[in-house]
Structure 1
Amino acid sequence: MDFKDEIRQFASRVDRLLPQIKTEEATKTSLIMPFLKILGYDVFDPFEVQPEFIADIGIKKGEKVDYAILREGKPIILIECKHYADGLDPHNSQLFRYFHTSEAKFSLLTNGVEYRFYTDLVTPNKMDEKPFFEFKISDIKDNELAELRKFHKSVFDLDSISSAASELKYFNELTILANGEMQNPSDEFVRYFTRQVYPSVVTVKILEQFTPLVKRVFSQIVNDQIAERLKSALKKETENEAQQILTPAEPESLIVTTEEEIDGFLIVKSILRKDVEVGRIFMRDNQSYCGVLLDDNNRKPICRFYFTPNKLRIGLFDQEKKETKYDLAQLDDIYTYSEQIMETIAHYQQIDHKN
């Protein structure tokens, strides 16, 4: 399973876990440690992830940070954890006090739902008051995933992240500012555009007249962009459907894609990640089963899921596309059939090569 899929799968579980998390310690165990593991760090190796990291401050000895990620024995990221229901107020954070006493270049303040990364862009060795990167795990976007991946152990590069941190910080602040102006344009913002089109002095009365106009203009621009993207997506979908022989359409209201089906699909992608580009593997849900296809083509079935509240079954195909169904005690049992799944893909690739 690639990094993006792992994060998406983890994010899909977070909201379901929250009601069972009663303490800060439970937040660490259920949310933050699994997150660090996805980033490639061994949370059970104190030489890599050290809990209760000691950061002495002047005459105060034995002060501790929740976690420190280490490289070659030196801290590179300090992590302070809160209960998931607690707000993240950096002014009350121990990170402010600890940051300058350690060699760490980055710090992370998190409650397992929100993640805020800090560095020292304003004053060297003093943690900035504003994070240069932040996101909510249950609503993480593709561009945020790309930034988060830079902190993965396999690609972590201190100089690379540091050089990009400044641009990322100001990009995020400009984004917030632009969104605010679009929702509630300030007088300065309205005056700037009004001067470009109004031939006389921009008085208070003119500002009042142009403020709703400016707001409408930007709303229209956004709506037009959304409409254009939807139009392009529908056009592409129509073209794809025209190229393939599709199964008869089923009433959409009767098709419910379950979390187990999504997890099963991610497991199949994980099995095949070394044999085929994961972007070629598609899930297509039907009323009676959920199919996994190569190239989103019904003629290339990889497997089918027959999941009910009381029973899990997987259907696998031989070279003649004859289906055999197997019972699963749990979703992870799909890995038991890894060889058969890979053989199915190898067969399709062999046919494609001949053609």
Structure 2
Amino acid sequence: MDFAIFDQTGTKPLIVIETKPLGTDLKARAQQLARYLSQLPELHFGIITDGCHYLFFGDLDNPNVMDPEPFFTFSLEDTKADWAKVAKFLSKFSRDAFNATTLITDAENSRYRQGMIDKLAAALKAPGEHEAFLKWLTEDIYKGKRTTAVMERLADVAKEAIEPTLLRVMGDDFLNKLKERIQRLNEGAEPVAAQEGANVVKPESAKPFEAESRAQADEKGRPAVETTETELEFYRAVRDICVKNGYVADDILFRDTANYFNVSYKRPTKWFARFFGNGKRKSIVTWVPVEDARAVAAGFEVEASPAALGTSRVYIESVPQVWALKALLTRSLELSKTAREDSPAADAAAQDETKPALKVVTSG
């Protein structure tokens, strides 16, 4: 073996490492590791590398019989790698943290998790091709005879149900992390963008995110929050509309986030207007049902909002148009008072409630 890492007594090998020339087919040469694992009862981990690509093998299925597939891999030339996760994984092999038993469990969990991801992804992409999944999904919903035509129909309905289901379970925290990951992937792909046929993910193409990059990220990589004059103009217009309808100005609050600008009543969880003002198109999300919103926002483009963000979305060209939506905003304010606290959109606001609400009071 090229390298062996022993326990603190220096008698039991815990990890073996095989090194090969750059560009070697590592999986094809991994049988050397299999021989070591079969001959040394205390050995459960082997690594093979060409200096750029790293494959981690174990004996998860049968003790001292190396699994045919690695349980973890990474490559230094992978521009899309999540290096924080790679570092976290590698830290488990440090001298102070190494524990063969827990590492085996972690490796098993990682493999199970990836298997579940692959299986769920395949079923969600094509539910009609996974009969057991489709049967489980519809067993309490459809009680009739399941002919071929019926199953094809249910498969089409299931496919239509998947997107709104995912949006319902996606909270704002999840969406923020997804946007950060899309941005990282895009930044990592920039060096090859000029290659013919390169497929680069553009952050602005990922719905429901409208906002472009608003500011530099903080030291933890999270999007920084920068309140713009347009957002403050929006707040002042909404506040003045509310005052003209009998509300107290001090009760109309705002809170800015990395993805949208909230206006709420008395406390942050009682938001009634979400302004998306930094993207190519400006829009307002409210609690008003779509059909009602279309009725009171005649002349404006109205659509259903992703469930994680609110109920309806109205597109505007500029902030002054907010005054033409005063009926929509006051209706949303009333609905916010009875909005479910356990809804995804309300949960997002609740995450900020521990922070002091930002309040702006201006004369006139």
Query: TM-score normalized by structure 2?
Result: 0.40
Structure with the higher helix share, 1 or 2 = 1
Query: TM-score normalized by structure 1?
Result: 0.41
Bigger radius of gyration: 2
